[in-house]
Structure 1
Amino acid sequence: MTYLRRKIDAFLEQWKNDSDKKPLVVKGPRQVGKTESIRRFGFANYDSVIEINFVEESKYKSIIEDGYSAASIVRNISLLDPAKRFIEGRTLLFFDELQEFPEIATALKFFKQDARFDVICSGSMPGINYQRIESNSVGYKTDFEMRSLDFEEFLWAKGYDNSLAGEMLAHLIEARPFTNIQHKVLMDVFLDYCALGGMPDVVRSYIDQNTFEGSLQTQRQLVLDYREDIQKYAEGLDKGRILNVFNHIPAQLAKENKKFQMSKVAKNARFKDYNGCVEWLEMAGMVNVCRCLSFPELPLKGNYEENKYKLYFGDTGLFIAMLDDEASEDFRTNRNLGVYKGALYECIVGEALVKSGCPLFYYKRENSTLEEDFFVRTQSSLVPVEVKAKNGTSKSLRTLIASDSYPDIHFGLKLTSGNVGFENSIFTMPYFAAFLLKRLLGACDKGEVAWFEKGQW
């Protein structure tokens, strides 16, 4: 089976080489490649890998019966399976499907203090389960959040090396347009990525077979698996309401006003009736929540309205799989990103921002046409980001930059199907470069971006 190189690979190497490492908790939605990456890392770096899957091997839930000390847990694992070898300094203990047995997280403190064995825990962490894990192990673990492949990882899967992302970033920093062949090839690969999404099973099948055959069926099965997770793990909440919210996302994104409205989910539904449902889906990694700013100014943290947000899927490929057959076929056959009133554009860019570590915010002024899709920031500036379905005017973006009412905004970013350019304090870049946006902003802070300096802000 083809292994898909992931960004967690480099993180795991750094973690292992840390002389003061803490047990690692890798969290993320189901089937994004957590187990595969950890297992591969373990066999490449340790003499002994002891893997315990709490779903498949429920008998191991008894290993804490004598307490949470590392010694007692190791002893009980050895009693249950004497073939498992614990070699001090050369063993990785891998607890998988942690959401099935969050109690084991209490032991992480003692494994850190014991320091004889490296420990990694992994699982999809929806809702209350991860809150229990967090409270049981605070201060004694390192977290890593893993999602489906981003576009850079997809490029690796296609055979491109690290140098391509560096070259793409150089184009953005220098405001240097891509050549016609560069732009066409990257856009074609990007559209394939949009249709497939980043779920490893879908991408691997496409890479191995060089065809899209079977991808839609796999994506739809993954959607069914997500719905099953809701039914299984939504403790303390109304599972039916969480499912209703999840199922209504495509229809709500099809509206001109993409703000999520609970009143459309069920008759007479109110936000307070669905309290916790959106947070559960977000924590499970199933959706990306884009919150409405109270006002476009810094700081961003806490500067948003609790009951105003847009909901996007955590993986655009799964969103396309949930569209009606006609819209899904239109995209797959004609590469028509305009289906669902431009919602795909926003989903794609939102997904790229989240995977690069940027929280999602938008702004819509009451009783006005002023609205902006996303906001990011440098150290000193708030940066509006407009996602254009068609190359045209950017009235809201220009207003935000020019008006004295928004002193934190000095320039804007526009993502289009076109090429790189900078004019009137607006930097334009192609959709396929969205995964580089945070790196570009970091280069702005370091004074490495020529067009950023030209603005004299």
Structure 2
Amino acid sequence: MYRKAYQELLNWKNEEKGKCAIMIDGARRIGKSYLALEFAKNEYDSYILIDFYATPDEVKEIFEKYLSDLDTFFLRISAYYSVNLYERKTLFIFDEVQFFPRARAAIKYLVADGRYDFIETGSLLSISKNTKDILIPSEERHLKINPMDFEEFLLALGNESLLPVLKDSFEKKIPLGQALHRKAMDLFRLYLIVGGMPQAVKEYVESKDFERVDRIKREILELYRNDIKKHAKGSELKAEAIFDEIPAQLSKHEKKFKISSLKKEARMRDYDDAFMWLNDSRIVNICYNADEPNIALKMNMTRASLKCYLADTGLLISHAFDENGIISEEIYKKLLFGKLEVNEGMIFENIAAQMLTASGHKLYFYSKSDNEDASSRMEVDFLITKNKVTARHNIQGIEVKSTKRYTLASLNKFRKKYEEYAGSCFVLHTADFREENGIIYLPVYMTMFL
């Protein structure tokens, strides 16, 4: 399956020519190892894959003893894996490098040697125990991998002909038309429920069996729970409580995470480490409230007010409907056709967060409560900055609507109050493209173009 990150790896290989390693960073089961292996097979004369999750002591011993003598180091590694090494044409893959931090520290010397290229893959890379007693190499470029986006999903399904039509509609600001819009929405709903975890997408492409897809997603969710229990030391109970509470929090009208739902006397500061762990593990996407919607959103954010989305919306659906184990084929089909009586607002807002994250945006929202002045009381789902900064109007507000009937009271108040800061604003909805009164009504599947 095609991943856009492949082109990033190709750019790294051609531009750096061995001057730095590249670290593929992402959540578990996101496809890091698969991507690195496909790249190695296609772009190099030979490669050595070292999986540090199951590496024997003999290999670790080579790292411990021979880094000061790289000729011997490479000779022994080559002999152990029975792979010939070719200068500038061999790639080393250090897979799951977090399980052997010594190998990550060795990158400094291996890159300086210059003979070969190095790709590292890892999860939970910023967790303190995975960096203890090592110097993080400066010769390390990072490539973050997200769940497959809608474009990659369409390519996996063989619908590449639709992509240029969607992009053309977005760029020219013209509607798709009823037939094409309906087709795009049907495929987007399929993306919503299957999700972007490569293993789940592969299963759907091969079997078209929703129950088998759901089983894979539940295995991933269980893997995440086990990671929390094993690695979130000191915060495991709080992180697990947050993880389990995500669907309930997102199903509410106001989707800000209410920490009191976990424990009556709880305070957000008591759970700060747990939220940070979940964010660092790439299991969730956290969206912070920006008190002032100007160009410096990060400077105006508050950690005491946040929304917590699951990083993959397909996983969210399996997570939310878990009362009876595997979700039946019938429920999936009702979700696919929008016939299930469920709050789709949480699903659409979660996918918007996922798509904005995949496009490189940090997530912020705007929320203001004022009991005395109704004109100041508002909540805008997301705030993003324009890609080209100008003197004014650099912030774009985004509202997500999952139904055909909706109001824009908050967005209109936001535009009026912050007219100096606010540029064009977007409504992500299930209808076709249109533009009215400075608001762009964007089909939700076009979020990937923002």
TM-score (norm 2): 0.90
Counterpart of 1:232 in structure 2 is 230
Counterpart of 1:387 in structure 2 is 400
User: Matches of 1:314 and 1:393 in 2, distance apart?
Assistant: 28
1:393 partner letter:
T
Change in 2 beyond 3 A, CA 1:90/1:401: same
Counterpart of 2:30 in structure 1 is 32
The CA deviation string for residues 64-118 of structure 1, in whole angstroms up to 9 with x for no partner, is 3226454464245346x16232222211111001111122211111122111010
Supply the RMSD in Å over aligned alpha carbons.
2.3
The residue matched to 1:260 in structure 2 has which SS? coil
User: Matches of 1:269 and 1:258 in 2, distance apart?
Assistant: 18
1:434 aligns with 2:443: no
Give how far 1:189 is off. 0.6
The within-5 A match list for 1:214-293 is: 214-235=212-233, 237-293=234-290
Give how far 1:292 is off. 0.4
The residue matched to 2:65 in structure 1 has which SS? coil
1:312 aligns with 2:328: no
Conserved in 1, the CA contact under 8 Å of 2:427 and 2:442? Answer: yes
The CA deviation string for residues 143-196 of structure 1, in whole angstroms up to 9 with x for no partner, is 1001211100001001133x6433312212222101212111111111011000
The residue matched to 2:135 in structure 1 has which SS? helix
Segments of 5+ residues of structure 1 without an aligned counterpart are 438-457
Counterpart of 2:352 in structure 1 is 349
The CA deviation string for residues 289-320 of structure 1, in whole angstroms up to 9 with x for no partner, is 01001122222122101111000000001100
User: Out of 340, 343, 346, which is 2:343 matched to?
Assistant: 340
User: Matches of 2:407 and 2:311 in 1, distance apart?
Assistant: 29
User: Out of 371, 374, 380, which is 1:372 matched to?
Assistant: 380
Change in 2 beyond 3 A, CA 1:350/1:209: same
User: Matches of 1:187 and 1:310 in 2, distance apart?
Assistant: 26
Give how far 1:355 is off. 0.8
The residue matched to 2:252 in structure 1 has which SS? coil
The residue matched to 2:442 in structure 1 has which SS? strand
User: Matches of 2:351 and 2:294 in 1, distance apart?
Assistant: 25
Counterpart of 1:197 in structure 2 is 195
The residue matched to 1:165 in structure 2 has which SS? helix
1:5 aligns with 2:5: no
1:332 partner letter:
Y
User: Out of 422, 425, 428, which is 1:415 matched to?
Assistant: 428
Change in 2 beyond 3 A, CA 1:281/1:325: closer
1:398 aligns with 2:408: no
Give how far 1:215 is off. 1.1
User: Matches of 2:268 and 2:126 in 1, distance apart?
Assistant: 18
User: Aligned pair count?
Assistant: 430
The CA deviation string for residues 223-243 of structure 1, in whole angstroms up to 9 with x for no partner, is 0011111122224x3212211
Give how far 1:49 is off. 0.8
The within-5 A match list for 1:146-185 is: 146-161=145-160, 164-185=162-183
User: Matches of 2:92 and 2:163 in 1, distance apart?
Assistant: 34
The CA deviation string for residues 260-281 of structure 1, in whole angstroms up to 9 with x for no partner, is 1222123422223223111111
Counterpart of 1:141 in structure 2 is 140
Conserved in 2, the CA contact under 8 Å of 1:288 and 1:312? Answer: yes
User: Matches of 1:310 and 1:130 in 2, distance apart?
Assistant: 27
The residue matched to 1:136 in structure 2 has which SS? coil
User: Matches of 2:342 and 2:216 in 1, distance apart?
Assistant: 22
Give how far 1:400 is off. 1.9
TM-score (norm 1): 0.88
User: Matches of 1:304 and 1:17 in 2, distance apart?
Assistant: 38
The within-5 A match list for 1:30-179 is: 30-59=28-57, 60-66=59-65, 68-69=67-68, 70-71=70-71, 73-78=73-78, 81=80, 83-129=82-128, 132=131, 136-161=135-160, 164-179=162-177
1:419 partner letter:
D
User: Matches of 2:343 and 2:402 in 1, distance apart?
Assistant: 11
The residue matched to 1:292 in structure 2 has which SS? strand
User: Matches of 1:410 and 1:124 in 2, distance apart?
Assistant: 37
Give how far 1:372 is off. 0.2
Conserved in 2, the CA contact under 8 Å of 1:99 and 1:130? Answer: no
2:271 partner letter:
Y
Segments of 5+ residues of structure 2 without an aligned counterpart are none
Conserved in 2, the CA contact under 8 Å of 1:99 and 1:129? Answer: no
Change in 2 beyond 3 A, CA 1:361/1:296: same
2:253 partner letter:
E
The residue matched to 2:396 in structure 1 has which SS? strand
